[in-house]
Chain A
Amino acid sequence: MTTVIMRTTARIVVPIVLIVAISLLIEGHNLPGGGFIAGVLTSTAFVIVYIAFGLDFLERGVLGRDVDPGKTPSRDRVVVAYRRLFTVGLAIAVGSGLVPLALAHPFLSQSYVVLEGVPLYHHLEIASALAFDLGVYCVVVGGLLTIISVVGAE
């Protein structure tokens, strides 16, 4: 177990990191940011949790599951979930590239819609690139966390 300072800092920092990551993901298609960097930042938040509270904290403390410590890390339920996230992300990214093909546009074509008069925002831009970015985000988070939990456990 780490020090009180570490754990207290982690409690404050992790939500901030996650929010920044999500904002980077959402605005990434036309501002600095994007799926990759948002994914890396999200993984960083998880790494802080791992360092401060230990590898099993997520499953035991957050999800309320029982964990037997002797198991192979790659068969942990949370790691299986990470791997599934990776696969689903890849499917989203490829699928978002294939959709324009069905609409008779080239592979990976992107478009956007501007909505006027939206409450709070007034002017909201919804880009199709967001779907691709979301796929990349899932791939990066899933891939990095799989590596970190498996290698970290060893």
Chain B
Amino acid sequence: MALQTLSPGAESTLVIAPMLIVLVAAVGTLLLGTRPRARAGVSLAGGAAYLIAVAAIDWYVVLAPDAPGAATYQVGGLPAPFGITLVADGLSAFMLTMVAVIGVASLVFSIRVLPELDRRSYYFPLFHFLALGVTGAFLTGDLFNLFVWFEVMLMASYIFVAYYGGPQHTRAAFWYVALNLLASAVFLLGVGGIYATTGTLNMADLARRLAAPAAYGIDPGPVVGLLGLLLSVFAIKAGLVPFQFWIPTAYRAAPPPITALLAGATKKVGIYAIIRLSFTVFADAQIGVDLAVPIVGTVLAGDSPLAFIGAALFVMGTASILVGGLGAVGRDSLEGVLAYSSIGQVGFIAVPVAIAATTTVPDVRHIAIVAALVYALNHALAKGMLFLAVGAVRTATGTSRLADLGGLASRSPLLAAAFFIGSLSLVGIPPLSGFFGKFLVFDAAAQAGSLSVLVLLLAGSLLTIAYATRAWNRSFWGQRTSAVEDAIADPVQVAVLLALAVTIVAVGIGFEPIYRFADAAATAALDTDGYIDAVDPNQTVSGVDGGSVDAGAGGGGGGGETGTGTINTTDGGETP
């Protein structure tokens, strides 16, 4: 009797489908207890269903000719901005697709890489909870809810980093937990501050209020600093310098399929959060930034917080490219090389985001976001596949130290082929997906007319070639070592790797639809009004203007009768 809720339409139900599928899969695998085969079956079924649900979102919400572009879901039927809104728009769908591909691959891989003993523990339920956290973070339209999904994701990843329970795993987990607890506290502080400043945490409502602060009677000044807090938290998740130090130890400690997921999916949550908050939510904020940087002597100025975000991201991104590239050249294990490489690659994603934030030309901003997204997709596919390949090498030879490896190419040509394609894609050789990622990033930098950025990107690319070649030469070419001599690669693992390799080639050859998708994602990321409309069409910014017009016509206290039902119409009426 109290259910006064909108009956959700089909598209709307689709939005929550991926989340429910992983949730049910997580609980299902827990309920199955100690039956490993049934657990693996339920996990795979969940993964397949997830893939289908995400593909359905991609088509019906974003790519179909008559697609709405964005669909929302009000959890519990409570209306926005009070209830929790889930929003699937182009950007979310693009990210979800990335996660679905790499997630299913590493799920199939997991079934083969773990010995029987591991399968009886909580591996699969935790895997699904990790996926749940990532999915929730991509779909939510509420800042506090984003915090909750971050926590869900982190709780699962804590256990995975400590999964093997040895001394170095415990040490890695200790640092990882300590750093992320600190980050969570900072995140919560930022979220609390934003609520205190603006009176809302719904992202669409937040964007609307910040675009017209006077109409809502708020002083948005503190938001810039609070956004800085949030940015640092997301940078920790993405592993940007100076927050990169947890990555090598954590990636080495976690089981390989999980490392693939950490690099391919949870890192992208940090990138996604930066793009979503900076461009969709804070881009139109009416806050003048005028900040003198003491040491360098430059002055950051602009009429939105983007000027500040852009500068910070630019420094972090370029530093990441250099630190990651230089670090990867000197590592002595495959995981070490790939972990440092992923620090560098995230720099390649952050730099175009920084270009998008600093430029004032809409076209350049758009192309830069597309570049960041395509690069992120390539990194998820290639790096995820390479980490899985390291898992396969470890299953076959029992080691991943470069000194103990050599001659794998002749021992297992298919595994070598997959690794080769992954490395080439990382370097950016046409026609692989990595080529378009690199090309678009360079294009964005060229269009922004920044020579120094181009030089930095070039240096980073050269470093990529150096460490990719070195890892390949040391482990796949040369004399076979004793570990390699008896190595037998698992056929299912190699099949998963080859499937991912084919995907990478296919993305490169059939790039047109991928570009269209990334283009739609970038449009969604930059379209603040569209986002607000999708979430909460009744309370548009013009509704506030209408309120003030009404107040003028009706005189004095007539501002409250605009019929839109906003809490703030009275404030709107008092402004003129």
| Chain A residues proximal to chain B, CB less than 8 Å | 87-88, 90-91, 94, 98, 100-101, 104-113
* Distance in Å: Cβ of B304 to nearest Cβ of chain A: 35
How far apart sit A98 and B23, CA to CA, in the bound complex (Å)?
A: 11
Q: How many residue pairs bridge A and B at CB < 8 Å? A: 51
What are 6 A-to-B residue pairs whose CB atoms are below 8 Å? Answer: A87-B27, A87-B33, A101-B13, A105-B77, A107-B75, A111-B3
Chain B residues within an 8 Å CB radius of A90: 27, 30
Pick from A91, A94, A108, A111: contact of B75, CB under 8 Å: A108
* A-contact bits for B27-53, CB 8 A (1 contact / 0 none): 100110100000000000000000000
Given contacts A101-B13, A106-B74, 19 further A-B pairs with CB under 8 A are A87-B27, A87-B30, A87-B31, A87-B33, A90-B27, A94-B27, A98-B24, A100-B3, A101-B20, A104-B7, A105-B7, A106-B73, A106-B76, A107-B20, A108-B75, A108-B76, A109-B77, A110-B76, A111-B1
Chain A residues within an 8 Å CB radius of B16: 106-107
Residue in A closest to B122 when the chains form the complex, CB atoms: A83
Residue in A closest to B1 when the chains form the complex, CB atoms: A111
Residue in A closest to B28 when the chains form the complex, CB atoms: A91
* Distance in Å: Cβ of A76 to nearest Cβ of chain B: 15
Chain A residues within an 8 Å CB radius of B13: 101
How far apart sit A108 and B16, CA to CA, in the bound complex (Å)?
A: 11
Q: How large is the interface on B (under 10, 10 to 19, 20 to 34, 35 or more residues)?
A: 20 to 34
* Distance in Å: Cβ of B430 to nearest Cβ of chain A: 45
Check if B2 is an interface residue, CB within 8 A of chain A.
Answer: yes
How far apart sit A121 and B33, CA to CA, in the bound complex (Å)?
A: 42
Chain B residues within an 8 Å CB radius of A112: 1-2
Check if B5 is an interface residue, CB within 8 A of chain A.
Answer: yes
Chain A residues within an 8 Å CB radius of B31: 87-88, 91
Pick from B1, B3, B20, B30: contact of A105, CB under 8 Å: B3
* A-contact bits for B1-26, CB 8 A (1 contact / 0 none): 11101111000010010001001100
B3 touches A91 (CB 8 A): no
Chain B residues within an 8 Å CB radius of A98: 20, 24
* Distance in Å: Cβ of A95 to nearest Cβ of chain B: 8
Chain A residues within an 8 Å CB radius of B74: 106
Pick from B20, B23, B30, B76: contact of A109, CB under 8 Å: B76
Chain A residues within an 8 Å CB radius of B2: 110-112
* A-contact bits for B257-298, CB 8 A (1 contact / 0 none): 000000000000000000000000000000000000000000
